[in-house]
Chain A
Amino acid sequence: MDSAGHLKPGAEIAGYRVQQKAHEGGMAVLYRVEPANGGEACLLKMPKLGFGSHPACYAGFDVEQMILGRVAGPHVPRLLAKGEGDFGPYLIIESIAGTPLAEYARRAPLPAGEVARLGAALASALHDLHRQDVVHHDLKPAHVILRPGGEAVLIDFGLGFHGHLPDLVEAESDRPLGTPAYISPEQLAGLRGDPRSDVFSLGVMLYLLATGRLPFGEPASAAGMRRRLYLDAVPPRRIRDDLPQWLQEIILHCLEVRAEARYATAAQVAHDLRHPDQIALTERGRRLTRSGPLKAAKRWLAALAAPPLLRKPPGAHLAQAPHVLVAVDTGCNSEPLFQALRDAVQRIIGGGPDWRVSCVSVLEPSLLTEQEEAAEIMRSLRLQRLIELHHWAQPLGLQQERLRFHVLEGGDAATRLLEHARSSHADHVVMGARGSSGLRRFLGSVSSRVAAEAPCSVTVVRV
């Protein structure tokens, strides 16, 4: 270590050799290191300490260590080691190969399709984090890396919140902590732990990728940041008139001032970005002007009142917004089974306000050899299935904007259903059991495979 407190290239720490400094931020310094006995390069992170360093540096470091030690999966870097050197505490973290989202943001505005692809990857990663009871609270392009395969990885958990651990960030500062351009209205009021705060920051990033501009600028003062509590963002289609209405609908839905008016989960954002044709467009998607001064004044007054205190862990919040996937074999024509499926769906969504139901049917590919004819038949079958799904769902009497309909194609129904359950972050799969045991013996049981391999709960209905 030299006199300025920097690690020297070649130095060895707990079996890792320092290569060079990779990044120096306000709170921490990152070094590229590699295991002395060979292996993949990784990162050493140490808090930036010394005279005049911010007291939050330690808190941020503690929080990151705490949260990285508790989360897992492809959307967060792995914590490989931690320790105390003579230079202070450090973490050894997996180095993520890929492109920082900040690079995409520099090229913005991007085509709508690319915004949707990046946004869906980001929203999926975010939902995976929320499911682990963690809210990031400092989402911005610099904190997202896209792997070559397209998966998003979230980094830097220094301001994170874990629903089951002490909140060291809140304890450290009375000021709202976050990045001014991306911080959510409720974070400005000092409220932490709501996953929908991350959905707001996600909306800011989508806005940036779609328009090349930040919806609320980069305010330097607390008063400047508070403007987002009552002033709308300029509708993205005002900046870019070729932007599809569905994308504006999604972005502004994420940016709603009140958390309850936003998407309930990041999974719902991901689903809408992947299936824009299913979005029920509202005035939000069409508008070209901001709301008027009267509405702003009303919001300004409302913002004076303290927000309600939210004291439930992020996981409990998600549990109130289940995504139920119901597989309906509309070809089986059994009204008792159809009704039993509907009853099961009703029981699962209960009385909560934030559920979503995807009605899914799997279509087996046509065996016809004439390609053009086969494609035509498939098109009409797909349409017929969609109509049948809508017909099945009608007696449920549910709000249209909370329902989604998908016809999946493929010979192996179980595989297609499992893929769909995974990609749409389903919390519960409802499906019927094949009635006739002879047929089941011949074709194998779809439901038993789905029940065995699904990433969530499965209810198999039999009549």
Chain B
Amino acid sequence: MKIAVLSDIHSNLEALLACLAHAGREGAALHVFLGDLVGYGADPVACLDLLADLADKGALLVRGNHDEAALGGLCADMNPAAREATYWTRARLHPAQRRFLEALPLTRRRADLFFVHASAAAPANWDYVTSPVQAAHCMDASAAAVTFAGHVHQQSLFFSAAGSVRAFHPVPGVPIPLSGRRRWLAIAGSVGQPRDGNSAAAYALYDEEERELTFFRVPYDHATAARKILAAGLPGRLAWRLQRGE
């Protein structure tokens, strides 16, 4: 089965729809969402309704720090723009959407695959996995052949080798065979707020039979997503960063 792994949607409906359509054309039969479904963007309600519908059809979801923040709390460790967007999002969620977010687990497992928003080492701590050492902790904790994570808005692939862990920067669209004789950690990148200077939405597709992982970049209508953010009165910085992928 081909599994589309989508992370950090951040209420960006245009990017989400573009990635779902792309994954559909690539033959994805299962969707996994790695959290941070909301925050930053202008379409939390539409995104959550769409995701709830996919969940009913078998999609797997885990919770991210922005999903947790949307339910309550002081958001003391967030930057001002993120905090403002979080408060804005809270005011728009209906009870049904709150219940949906509350029910999200921190991690999911499917055969030898493991899904988490930040790091499997301490899922509720929201640690960023950016170095091989952090990746090693994450892979040790998940004890799975392939671990998928988000949180960091840049695509990367870590793998175990001769007692250490190495990082690899994937090339979009190139399938990577994942040998069963080592462990892998894929950071899927962000659907709704890419931050690597490329405005295209990011997601990953894993082919279980072939054991091949492909990272994709999908150009989407970021101008509309940005316009909606401005129209909603959210901080302007959240709009223009979409245009540049910052």
B130 close to A (CB within 8 Å): no
B side interface size, CB within 8 A = 15
* A 26-77 contacts with B by CB, 8 A: 55, 58-59, 62, 65-66, 69
Q: Does B162 contact A (CB under 8 A)?
A: yes
Q: A311 — nearest CB in chain B belongs to which residue?
A: B169
Are B161 and A164 in contact, with the CB atoms below 8 A?
no
A151-173 vs B, Cβ < 8 Å mask (1 yes, 0 no): 00000000000001111101111
| Chain A residues near B168 (CB-CB < 8 A) | 166-167
Known: A59-B161, A166-B157, A166-B159. A171 touches B166 (CB 8 A): yes
Give A89 to B180 CA distance when docked, in angstroms: 10
Judging by beta carbons under 8 Å apart, are A171 and B171 in contact? no
Which residue of A has the minimal Cβ distance to B162?
A172
Q: Could you tell me if B177 and A172 are in contact, using CB atoms closer than 8 angstroms?
A: no
Given contacts A166-B157, A166-B159, A171 and B177 within 8 Å (CB-CB)? no
A171 contacts B176, CB within 8 Å? no
Least CB separation from A165: chain B residue: B176
Contact yes or no, A65 B177, CB < 8 A: yes
Q: Are B181 and A166 in contact (CB under 8 A)?
A: no
**Residue B79 lies at the interface, judged by CB distance under 8 Å to chain A:** no
B111 to chain A, nearest CB (A): 16
B125 contacts chain A at the CB level, 8 A cutoff: no
Instruction: Give the complex CA separation of A165 and B215 in angstroms.
Output: 12
Q: How far is the CA of A171 from the CA of B179 in the complex (A)?
A: 14
| Interface flags, A70-107, vs B, CB<8A=1, else 0 | 00000000000000100001000000000000000000
A19 CB, min distance to chain B CBs, angstroms: 27
Do B162 and A166 have beta carbons less than 8 Å apart?
Answer: no
* Contact between B161 and A171, CB atoms less than 8 A apart: yes
Q: Report the Cα distance A108→B200, complex, angstroms.
A: 57
Contact pick for A171, options B162, B174, B180, CB 8 Å: B162
* A58 to B162 CA separation, bound complex (whole angstroms): 10
Residue of B nearest to A162 (CB): B174
CB distance from B206 to the nearest CB of A (A): 15
| Those of B151-193 within 8 Å (CB) of chain A | 157, 159, 161-162, 164, 166, 168, 171, 174, 176-177, 179-182
Query: How close is A245's CB to chain B, nearest CB, in angstroms?
Result: 44
Contact of A58 among B164, B166, B177, B181 (CB under 8 A): B181
Closest-CB distance, B15 to chain A (whole angstroms): 25
Q: Which residues of B contact A171 (CB under 8 A)?
A: 159, 161-162, 164, 166
Let me know if B171 and A168 touch, CB within 8 A.
no
Per the bound structure, the CA–CA distance linking A353 and B118 in Å amounts to 46
Interface string of B44-63 (1 = CB under 8 A from A): 00000000000000000000
Contacts of B171 in A (CB 8 A): 164
A173 engages B162 (CB within 8 Å) = yes
Whether A166 pairs with B174 at a CB distance below 8 angstroms is no
Task: For the complex, give the distance between the alpha carbons of A177 and B243 in Å.
Answer: 45
Q: What's the minimum C-beta distance from A155 to chain B, rounded to whole angstroms?
A: 20
Bound together, the chains give a CA A362 to CA B159 distance in angstroms of 55
Q: Hey, which chain A residues are within 8 Å of B179, CB to CB?
A: 58, 62, 65-66, 168
Query: Which residues of chain B have a CB within 8 Å of any CB of chain A?
Result: 157, 159, 161-162, 164, 166, 168, 171, 174, 176-177, 179-182
Q: Which 6 A-B pairs have the closest CB atoms?
A: A171-B161, A166-B168, A62-B179, A171-B166, A164-B171, A164-B174
Interfacial residues, chain A to chain B (CB-CB below 8 A): 55, 58-59, 62, 65-66, 69, 84, 89, 164-168, 170-173
Known: A55-B162, A84-B180, A168-B179; 13 extra A-B contacts, CB below 8 A, are A59-B161, A59-B162, A89-B181, A165-B174, A166-B166, A166-B168, A167-B168, A168-B159, A168-B182, A171-B161, A171-B162, A171-B166, A172-B162
Ordered by A's residue number, 29 sampled pairs between the chains whose C-beta atoms are within 8 Å are A58-B179, A59-B161, A59-B162, A62-B179, A62-B181, A62-B182, A65-B177, A65-B179, A66-B177, A66-B179, A84-B180, A164-B171, A165-B174, A165-B176, A165-B177, A166-B157, A166-B166, A166-B168, A167-B166, A168-B159, A168-B179, A170-B166, A171-B161, A171-B162, A171-B164, A171-B166, A172-B161, A172-B162, A173-B162
